[in-house]
Structure 1
Amino acid sequence: MTRLLPLLTLVLALCGLTGAADAFETRAKSAFVMDVTTGTVLMQKNADVPLPPASMSKLMTLYVAFEAIRDGRLSMAEKLPVSKHAMSFGGSTMFLDTTDRVTVEDLIRGIIVLSGNDACVVIAEALSPDGTEAGFARYMTQRAQQMGMTNSTFVNASGWPAAGHRMSMRDLALLARHLIEDFPQYYPMFAETEFKFDGRAPQNTQNRNPLLKLGIGADGLKTGHTQEAGFGLVGSALQGDRRVVFVISGLDTAQARAQEAEAIVNWAFRQFTQKELVRSGTEVARARVWMGDAESVGLTVDKDVSSLIPVLASGGIKGEVIYTGPLRAPVMKGDTVGELVFSPEGLPETRVPLVAMEDVLKGGFMPRIRTVSQLLLTRLQQGPEGAL
């Protein structure tokens, strides 16, 4: 006879401190703020809407370039030619021409610090499957999809205004996190405030990121602006052990972008604090076991669990221990058998795997008799509808 095992939930007080932080009312038309250390989303506004990303999409060109360097398909010292197509771009450029052969390192700095449209095209044509910028854009789109950036479509390498060239704020934040975590050896370049390339355009040597000189831990990543997109910024800041990544777009002026970015960083660090909730090896709950040599097994987390907590908090965080039970023996130590689900008020829920703390092997004759007897007693207590 087939029986449906019930879904069991246990309410657990995890620690003292919870409550909602004051919501941040951003002036940006779209925004996404994430605490990278804990993976907590602190704020989102139109975060999954594909929008014109302007020069912020240059981060994808950089990511693909870093992958090529890592894989040996490109080197920092390699010199690349400049095509007529690359030279033809206006806007923010390195002022390259077709007589140049430029090192990959200079091109990367030209993209990061100077937002060089021409530098993007040089990189794109070197790495494109068919040698064209359009081919590189198709490759970027495919790679973005593989990385989970499902609301991103690229038409060019630079973010130059074009129909269909779109990214969501969540995708940009995910990309920023990948750049920080996948290529720590190159990430310090995003904090460079100036790049003087070959003495050209001395008036165009400063990084446009307004946060880098404020002493608030900001160390990246990229500004963007077009008439259609407005003023935007993909930013990151590190204070102590916490890192925050944020994306804003659709501001009216560069000054508004700078003010909003600084306010977001201050809010993210000052209104939340990181607290340890459960240590690995601490018994969170016990789960019943079906026909085992023990009637139950302890559940724990396999690594320490921490969460961001609003600083103006009171009460206790309540978590649910969820598993389908009783568990069927054998259960081996370390097996994932459930989830711990919790969410401080005003923040998204977090789900953490729960594992068995010890082995529970199949029981012999007497444990099986005991289990069947307990089941029969439970069914009889439930009345006719629960009878076997």
Structure 2
Amino acid sequence: MIKQLVASMLLASSSLSFAQQPTAPVPSATLPTPAPGQVVEQQPQAIPAAPQLAATGYILVDATTGAIVAEFNSSERLPPASLTKMMSSYLVVDEIEKGRISEDSLVNISVKAWKMGGSRMYVKEGTQVPVIDLLRGVIIQSGNDATVALAEYVSGNEDAFVDLMNQTAARMGMTNTHFENSSGWPAEGHLTTAKDLAVLARAIINDHPTHYPLHAEKHFTYNNIRQPNRNTLLFRDDAVDGLKTGHTDEAGYCLVASAKRDNTRFIAVVMGTANERARAAETEKLLAYGFRYFQTTPLYQAGQQVGTSRVWAGQADEVSLAIPKDIVLTLPKGREQSLQAKMHINEVIKAPIAVGQELGNLTVELDGQLLVNTPIVAVQAIEEAGFFARLLDNLKLFFRNLFS
């Protein structure tokens, strides 16, 4: 009778699948907090409400994480005026960085470009101008003539370029944006939102870091005409290094500004202020609020190992565990020591295991609020053990489950 019982147990254990079984995750011990030092429980500190601006709509966003720190009417569709040129310059830089055009490529100036009114770089019809000069004319001087010239060069004509602008806006998730031209010249249906412009600003900063410094240049001279950057914050705050101003009677005075202090970069979008002085002052209020009360906090780096776990039926007894991607949060200042990070590892991990296979998850909470829920993955591959080693481990699992 005993022999039959043992035989049946052996048969049952050997018939278990040697692939990893799905198991409910269970919490493990609390991980060390990302910042060094002992965890100190702190009482949540009240953060003052964001300042109310004299603007039609605005938003303040962490450029690294995309977290919204403050907003008002940020999804209201409004005319963007020359903020439109942010998309035009993004597309031109994209063409340069992908090697499809060169900074030194010469652009023929058409009659249409030469006749553009409003802000101008003062290019002359029939001349040839290098792409990089026209790009500075767009970003620094807000030249409508330079913008149209580049649009025609990239896509053959401005209408085709505008189609590319709208396609790119859709791809970026700028769901409330529609462009009718490349420069921001007033046109029915030419609308965007503060939130969408923040998305575009993040793309300019993060996708094209090599060319982003163009936005911080304070002057540009072309055709013996020296013009200042219309973003007056560049002359008042060393932390500010972009991006673009805009103005029409319909749009009012608008500004997308970005500033970086230490490890934190904010993007402020302010639309529909009364005059140049107001758009600068209101943007300063928004940036000052962000830097005073919030910070960008890196928690984990991609590939950072966070521990090991037991492996059953494998050629190795342990597998190293890691976080697959960077984890960065926007936090109230001084609260990083209150973060609670926990690993939740699958109760049973069986070979074979592939590199990058999800074996659990990591959660990070602040004051009971879940901020992060990210996979924990295997660092190395582990093959199945031989038959008898697998059989032994399955017997161990059988009796563990039997008495647990």
Confirm or deny a common fold (TM above 0.5): yes
Secondary structure class of the residue paired with 1:365: helix
2:322 maps to which residue? 300
Q: TM-score, normalised by structure 1?
A: 0.79
Give the Cα separation in 2 of the matches to 1:47 and 1:355. Answer: 38
Amino acid at match of 1:283: V
Pick the aligned partner of 2:146 from 97, 107, 119.
119
Deviation, 1:74, is 3.0
In structure 1, what residue type is equivalent to 2:306?
A: E
| Structure 1 residues 318-372: Cα deviation after superposition (integer angstroms, max 9, x where no partner) | 2454566644533345433333233546999344442235666546112212323
Q: Which residue does the alignment assign to 1:185?
A: 210
- Give distance in 1, aligned partners of 2:22 and 2:150: 58
Give the unaligned 5+ runs of structure 2. 1-15, 34-38
Partner SS state of residue 232, structure 2: coil
The corresponding residue for 1:6 is 24
CA displacement, residues 143-166 of structure 1 (integer Å, 9 cap, x when unaligned) = 333344444322110112223323
- RMSD of equivalent CA atoms: 3.6
Query: Are residue 25 (structure 1) and residue 47 (structure 2) matched?
Result: no
Question: Which position in structure 1 is the counterpart of 2:243?
Answer: 221
Q: Find the partner of 2:257 among 232, 235, 247.
A: 235
| Aligned residue number for residue 283 of structure 1 | 306
- SS in structure 1 at match of 2:125: coil
Runs of at least 5 residues in structure 1 that lack an aligned partner in the other structure: 379-388
Retained in 2: the 8 A contact 1:54–1:224? yes
Q: Tell me the distance in 2 between the aligned counterparts of 1:14 and 1:33.
A: 31
Q: Do the aligned residues in 2 keep the contact of 1:309 with 1:344 (CA within 8 Å)?
A: no
Per the TM alignment, residue 136 of structure 1 is displaced from its structure 2 partner at its CA by 1.0
Counterparts in 2 of 1:105-144, with a 5 A limit?
Answer: 105-128=132-155, 131-144=156-169
1:298–1:356 contact (8 Å) kept in structure 2: yes
The residue number in structure 2 matching 1:382 is none
Structure index of larger Rg? 2
Question: Which position in structure 2 is the counterpart of 1:370?
Answer: 396
Q: What does residue range 152-191 of structure 1 map to in structure 2 within 5 Å?
A: 152-191=177-216
After superposing the two structures, state which structure 1 stretch, 24-33 or 253-262, moved more: 24-33
Structure 1 residues 316 and 225: alpha-carbon distance in aligned structure 2, compared to 1, 3 A threshold: same
Structure 2 Cα separation of the partners of residues 322 and 250 of structure 1: 48
1:35 matched residue in structure 2:
62
Secondary structure class of the residue paired with 1:75: coil
Map Cα deviations across residues 195-238 of structure 1 (whole Å, 9 max, x no partner). Answer: 232134x6xx1211121012331111101223333322222122
Is 2:103 aligned against 1:76? yes
Q: What letter is aligned with 1:135?
A: A
Is this contact kept in 2: 1:223–1:234, CA < 8 A?
Answer: yes
Identity %: 34
What code does the residue aligned with 1:211 have?
L
Does the CA-based 8 Å contact 1:32-1:170 persist in structure 2? Answer: yes
Note if contact 1:33-1:43 (Cα within 8 Å) is conserved in structure 2.
yes
Contact 1:24 1:267 in 2 (8 A): yes
Using the alignment, how far apart are the partners of 2:147 and 2:347 within structure 1? 56
Cα–Cα, structure 1 residues 178 and 347, in superposed 2: closer, same or farther, change >3 Å?
farther
Equivalent position amino acid for 1:143 in 2: T
Residues matched between the structures, number: 372
User: Partner of 1:381 in structure 2?
Assistant: none
SS at match of 2:141: coil
Hey, what's the Cα distance between the residues in 2 that align with 1:85 and 1:33? 37
Query: What is the alpha-carbon distance in structure 2 between the residues aligned to residue 296 and residue 71 of structure 1?
Result: 44
- Residue deviations 1:40-63 (CA, integer Å, cap 9, x gap): 443344445543222112011111
Q: Is the 8 A contact 2:65 2:328 kept in 1?
A: yes
Question: Does structure 2 retain, via aligned residues, the 8 Å contact 1:210–1:258?
Answer: yes
TM-score norm. by structure 2 comes to 0.76
Aligned partner of 1:341 in structure 2 is 363
Distance 1:85 1:347, change over 3 A: farther
Cα shift readout 1:302-328 (whole Å, capped 9, x = no counterpart): 567554432254872124545666445
Distance 1:346 1:141, change over 3 A: farther
Q: 1:159-188, CA deviations, whole angstroms, 9 ceiling, x for partnerless residues?
A: 122233233334323332332333333222
